[in-house]
Amino acid sequence: MRILVTGGAGFLGSHLCERLLSEGHDVICLDNFFTGSKDNIIHLMDNHRFELVRHDIVEPILLEVDRIYNLACPASPVHYQYNPVKTLKTSVMGAINMLGMAKRVKARILQASTSEVYGDPQVHPQTEAYWGNVNPIGIRSCYDEGKRVAETLMMDYHRQNKVDIRLIRIFNTYGPRMAEHDGRVVSNFILQALRNEDITVYGDGSQTRSFCYVSDLVEGMCRMMECDDFTGPVNLGNPVENTILEFAEKIITITGSKSKVIFSPLPQDDPKQRRPDISLAGERLGWKPQVELDAGLARTAEYFAARIGKGAVQK
């Protein structure tokens, strides 16, 4: 098949392009390089089935494809809050443009939605049936509400125009090729630990997150795309939940770091807890994560160590 991956030069997108090429597909990677990088896809450039298009999905584009994975959107709070209006345009106008393309060429389209549609959840763990608790006017809203509108657009194009859609809600995912300066907890803590700098825990560190390794996520994403008669939404994530403080301690141990934990103010609207209920993904896709947190973190630490020229991780 000919497959379009928007945001293909980003963290998740680059792993997805790799996977689709390995299955023998033709892949068009579309990216405006806001948070993505050519470094992430440079190893794919020699593959004659791989094509790179520099384009901003806020603008329409004409392409003929069989599948569209719509991943283009900055994902870390630091990046999506840098230009909130642009973040909203990317989610909303990007979804309209990609759905328009899907409708025109009768392609199946998968939208990368997020656990952020649940906001600061009052239901725990989060099931797909939960409608969420989202602040519409806060500093995270450009991302959360943009993704919620993208979900609405997907469902309306499906009901109104019979577009063949797939909706996944991705929970915190980590792994090699996360951007070094994206401010997300995994990259921040690992880099701080590798440099023996203080580990910056925001708030008292009692807030929780559940971290999924990138290969597991890509597997779930591809299964969902190729699953017949199931539009989703479906949660994809790892249900193993840790407090952020536990997570900091884990990273110190894995990297053999001398870092100490320090506490800084909690950002506004930071969700207090997050853990996916993945029963639906289990039932419909036969999917569950395989990579243990310690193993995934060790691989990610190796990647960052190589990036910053630190050599092998000590443990």
Contacts to ligand UDP from residues 258-277, by CB under 6 A? 266-267, 270
Asked if 20 touches ligand NAD (CB under 6 A), the answer is no
Secondary structure, 3-state, the chain = CEEEEECCCCHHHHHHHHHHHHCCCEEEEEECCCCCCHHHCHHHCCCCCEEEEECCCCCCCCCCCCEEEECCCCCCHHHHCCCHHHHHHHHHHHHHHHHHHHHHHCCEEEEEEEHHHHECCCCCCECCCCCCECCCCCCCHHHHHHHHHHHHHHHHHHHHHCCCEEEEEECCEECCCCCCCCCCHHHHHHHHHHCCCCEEEECCCCCEEECEEHHHHHHHHHHHHHCCCCCCCEEECCCCEEEHHHHHHHHHHHHCCCCCEEEECCCCCCCCCCCECCHHHHHHHCCCCCCCHHHHHHHHHHHHHHHCCCCCCCC
Would you count residue 90 as binding ligand NAD (CB under 6 A)?
A: yes
200 binds ligand UDP (CB under 6 A): yes
Identify which of residues 31 and 219 has a Cβ nearer to ligand NAD in the complex.
Answer: 31
Task: Tell me which residues are annotated as active site.
Answer: 143
Q: Of 154-162, 202-210, 218-226, 306-314, which part binds ligand UDP (CB under 6 A)? A: 202-210
- Considering only residues 223 to 242 of the shown chain, the ones binding ligand NAD according to CB under 6 A are none
User: Does 75 sit near ligand NAD (CB under 6 A)?
Assistant: yes
CB of 206 to ligand NAD, least distance (A): 21
297 is a site residue for ligand NAD (CB under 6 A): no
Smallest distance from ligand NAD to CB 146, Å = 9
List 18, 31, 128, 145, residue binding ligand NAD (CB under 6 A): 31
Considering the complex, state which of residue 266 and residue 298 has its C-beta at the smaller distance from ligand UDP: 266
Give whichever of 51 and 270 is closer to ligand UDP, judged by the CB atom. 270
| Residue ranges binding ligand NAD (CB under 6 A) | 6-7, 9-13, 31-36, 56-58, 71-75, 79, 90, 94, 112, 114, 170, 172-173, 179
